[in-house]
Chain A
Amino acid sequence: MSTTNKVIHALYNDDDVLMDAVKKTRAAHYHIEEVFTPFPVHGLDKAIGISPTRLAICAFIYGCTGLSVATWMMNNIMISDWPQDIGGKPSMSYIQNMPAFVPVMFEMTVFFAAHLMVITFYMRSRLWPFKAAENPDVRTTDDHFLMEVAVSGNEAEQVSFFEGTGAVEVKVIEKH
């Protein structure tokens, strides 16, 4: 592999054509850097070979955290710190008064799971306000699909390969 930071931008105008092109590119052992699409293309992640997300596992752990926080909080406030008799509710131990705490425990579990998972998603995807857009071509937010492939070896051969995959446009770009 030559030491160049050139990439090929192959543009498509149909997701079926894109899927075929991705499969051909993988078969030809070219390295796909990135694919930009205007909408989610079903099965694209599998075709590119991206490993499955672990976001759901994070959410489960966050949910357990939320449940623990709610339990600790209410045990501390309602049972340990100041166990008052409020309307005859048994505040002698946590388990005795637990049904009354379940709505809070449930909501806190959902709250932690949802919000921390979303924040994790933003951090992993590097998304935040005022972030400069990384879009290589404005048309990819509307009706075009763009596959970015690292140039290695024979550049002209690679360009003609991508033209053969049904691309409407193939460009070689120098990346900084």
Chain B
Amino acid sequence: MYTLSNRLKMFSIILMVLGALGIGYGFLTAPKTIQDVEALEKAEAHHGGGHEAAGHEATPAHEAHEASAETTPAAAEAHHDEVATEEAHAEHTTAVVTDTAHAEHAAATDTLAVAHAAEVAAPAHHKVAEKHETAVDAHAEHQEHLEHVLHQLQNKPWAALYVACIFFLLITMGVLAFYGIQWVAQAGWSPVLFRVMEGITAYLPVGSVIFFIFLLICGLDLFHSNHLFPWMVEGITDPKSEHYDALVAGKSGYLNFGFWIIRAAVFLAGWNLYRFFARKTSLKQDEAPAGDNFNYKKLFKGSAGFLVFFIVSESIMSWDWIMSLDPHWFSTLFGWYVFASFFVSGITTICMVTLYLKSKGLLEYVNTSHIHDLAKFMFGISVFWTYLWFSQFMLIWYANIPEEVTYFITRINDYTVPFWGAVVMNFVFPILILVNTDFKRVTWILVIAGSIILCGHYVDFFNMIMPATVGKNWFIGISEVSSVLFFLGLFLLVIFNALTKAPLLPKGNPFIEESKHFHY
């Protein structure tokens, strides 16, 4: 039997307290009104203004590059009057053709103003807007801009919490899916790890409740300061409202709060039901007399049923909880992509927890061959994730259809480092480290590789959620780190507490002998 050490308990509680404090800080420091945003922007403009004056002549090419990158999403969004957009486009083209620093610089300034980029200092915007006779009422536009930024900044602590919350919930689901697959596949190597997997999935009920409450807060607009899901905005389906959006209105048969929250409830309930049933049946099989495989067979059938339910619910879940943050965008392989991301995270978590327990001398029958198999799964599913990531990216990049491609343009322009960094962390690093057979058995190498994979997939979820909720105002700061710390502490506390509840070696599994002697 495993006993929860006081040090681990204290460590988790400290993580939770620190996290909770940071989360609270994030909410308290978020701007409340448009005036707050204006003051923030003024302060930034003043600060940035000095820089601009100094580095103006030196870096026109750089600015032009940023500005021209901005043009495409702005044009695709078609928020501006046609004349302005056309003009910006024309100037942009000229800049590329003539390729002189001066022309590029001029185009940059104009394009920025017309495209209404958030970073541009407010005074500069006013100045150029005056010059342009075609520009719409500058004041109204400025107010609209401030409101837009306010919503994004208010979203920031919410979105940080949401990313961490869904990430740990889905890690648990990755483990549960892996567990179900091991039962159905009658794997001979993994039964010695079943208790580890059951321990990790103990987080599912806790995570589900927190996540469901979060969804209720978003949907019922309980604190009036959260705009994570744009399709929940009041009047968005009403043609008479100023918030009317024909595209979202067309999807309202699917994207409406009642149906959405019922789906969430059904999925979470279904997953928790399987988890509860699997744990109970697995423990019952331990006490069954030798040769009595009734519970084993029951769980085999239950797992097969769960996997069918899981793949359907997982796909719909990814549309509901992640894709609907960008309600104008759609992608068919998105469900698989999300699945690959949390599946590999789940397997990595199993590996890390196993290595920890093994280092404490608690998993007598787990040998390097079991670890090697887990590492192979980490390697293989990392490559699978990359395959789906690339398939989604390349198809959209290649066809370059405006309504789809904005998704990647905002990510590449505003999230350059996280966007490409996720590929490096989730693909390049694992493929170079875990390709070696000997490395797959070395604890410290696996701990490093596992940490990088887990961080990489956090960044992956960050990339999916943040651009839709906070846009350019992202930053991995106190809110984001604290949210992760809080959920990490909770996760560790719950799973290691669950591991103390049952012996770490399942006795009654018909494959347990084979698993104990598994050798690769």
Contact = CB atoms under 8 A, between A and B. Distances in A.
Contacts of A60: 435
B437 interface: yes
A88 B390 contact: no
A102 B393 CA distance: 12
Contacts of A100: 394, 398
A29 B390 CA distance: 56
Interface string A113-141: 00000000000000000000000000000
Contacts of B400: 88
Contacts of B393: 99
Q: Main SS of the interface on chain B?
A: helix
B276 interface: no
Contacts of A77: none
B27 interface: no
A96 B223 CA distance: 45
Nearest to B394: A99
Contact of B437 (A56, A88, A99): A56
Contacts of B397: 99
Interface in A69-94: 88
A60 B437 CA distance: 13
A129 B398 CA distance: 46
Q: Main SS of the interface on chain A?
A: helix
Given A56-B437, A60-B435, A102 B390 contact: yes
Interface string B192-234: 0000000000000000000000000000000000000000000
A102 B427 CA distance: 14
A56 B438 CA distance: 12
A1 B150 CA distance: 90
Contacts of B394: 99-100, 102
Nearest to A60: B435
Interface in B57-78: none
A99 B389 CA distance: 12
Nearest to A63: B435
Interface in A37-57: 56
A52 to B, nearest CB: 9
A121 B435 CA distance: 20
Contacts of A99: 390, 393-394, 397-398
A100 B437 CA distance: 32
A99 B390 CA distance: 8
Contacts of A102: 390, 394
A60 B431 CA distance: 11
Contacts of A56: 437
Interface string B346-386: 00000000000000000000000000000000000000000
A100 B395 CA distance: 9
A25 B49 CA distance: 84
B324 to A, nearest CB: 27
A102 B397 CA distance: 13
A128 B66 CA distance: 60
Contacts of B390: 99, 102
A88 B400 CA distance: 10
Nearest to B393: A99
Contacts of B435: 60
A100 B400 CA distance: 12
A138 to B, nearest CB: 34
A100 B394 CA distance: 7
A113 to B, nearest CB: 11
A56 B440 CA distance: 15
Nearest to A103: B394
A129 B380 CA distance: 36
A90 to B, nearest CB: 10
Contacts of B437: 56
Nearest to B96: A92
B408 to A, nearest CB: 10
A60 B397 CA distance: 30
A99 B391 CA distance: 10
7 nearest interchain CB pairs?
A: A99-B394, A99-B397, A100-B398, A102-B390, A102-B394, A99-B398, A99-B393
Given A99-B397, A100-B394, 10 more contacts: A56-B437, A60-B435, A88-B400, A99-B390, A99-B393, A99-B394, A99-B398, A100-B398, A102-B390, A102-B394
9 contacts: A56-B437, A88-B400, A99-B390, A99-B393, A99-B394, A99-B397, A100-B394, A100-B398, A102-B390
